[in-house]
Amino acid sequence: GENVEQHPSTLSVQEGDSAVIKCTYSDSASNYFPWYKQELGKRPQLIIDIRSNVGEKKDQRIAVTLNKTAKHFSLHITETQPEDSAVYFCAARNFRTSSGTYKYIFGTGTRLKVLA
Amino acid sequence: EAGVTQFPSHSVIEKGQTVTLRCDPISGHDNLYWYRRVMGKEIKFLLHFVKESKQDESGMPNNRFLAERTGGTYSTLKVQPAELEDSGVYFCASSQGFLGSRTEAFFGQGTRLTVV
């Protein structure tokens, strides 16, 4: 069935270092990939997204890359700061033909710890 | 603008009891989604409302789960009778249109349900 694999499950980096989280999706028809950040005790919030007709997108210290052929997409955070510590979820948007609607298939989450 | 609001934030119930979770979406958002995250696993889709209609309920685990959205405003998710495996964090999300690169899904903070 539809699924999104996400690695690693936990990641610890030193402040100032880079962090990379990788996801692989199964449905080749997926065409939109959002990333959500959930800080402790808070709601998941969209931080960046990418459409399937784009290979890379940047927003300040965060970037997302997409390899459609391999069905991989990754989140890159540079110059990490303590406030980047959170759980990050990747997702792939799937179109459900039976209901004519879209839904997100999420990965299992990555707990990022930025060590000061 | 108020965000997506969920009640209660935490609930601890005994196996066999009934629990009702509530979600108030962002005003004007026709699309409302329920998701669940069991510890360490993915945020898993449960169902999708468009206004008061169930558009996609393919993720509902079994008939112990009943979701309603009378009047197309707030939604409730009832679990009756609750089982141990129902424990997890239940998220609600809403969006103005169908999910996509121009339509963001806004999440609530979740209800942490513990069945003992």
pLDDT band of B103, cuts 50, 70, 90? confident
pLDDT band of B17, cuts 50, 70, 90? very high
Per residue in A27-86, pLDDT (tens digit) is 998 989 999 999 998 999 999 999 988 899 999 999 999 999 999 999 999 999 999 999
* CA A63 – CA A78 distance, rounded (Å): 9
* CA A56 – CA A52 distance, rounded (Å): 10
Per residue in B87-102, pLDDT (tens digit) is 999 999 999 887 765 6
The pLDDT assigned to A50 comes to 94
* CA A20 – CA A14 distance, rounded (Å): 13
Say yes or no for a CB contact (<8 Å) between B45 and A46.
Answer: no
pLDDT band of B77, cuts 50, 70, 90? very high
Spell out the residues 6+ positions from residue B111 whose beta carbon is closer than 8 angstroms to its own.
B6, B7, B8, B9, B10, B11, B21, B89, B90
Report the gap between the CA of A50 and the closest CA in chain B (Å): 8
| Interface membership of A107 toward B (CB under 8 Å) | yes
What is the CA angle B50-A49-B31, rounded to 5?
A: 5
In chain B, residues with a C-beta closer than 8 Å to the C-beta of A101 are 48, 50, 55-56, 98
* CA B15 – CA B101 distance, rounded (Å): 41
Per residue in A5-19, pLDDT (tens digit) is 999 999 999 999 999
Per residue in B32-76, pLDDT (tens digit) is 999 999 988 899 999 999 999 999 999 999 999 999 998 889 999
Question: B47 to chain A: nearest residue by CA?
Answer: A103
Chain A, residues 71-100, CB within 8 A of chain B, namely 89, 91, 93, 96, 98-100
| Interface membership of A105 toward B (CB under 8 Å) | yes
Beta strands in B51-110 (DSSP E): 53-56, 65-68, 75-79, 88-95, 106-107
Residue in A49, A105, A108 closest to B41 by CB: A108
Structure tokens at A61: 């210290």
Q: What percent of chain A has pLDDT over 90?
A: 80
3-class DSSP assignment, residue A85: coil
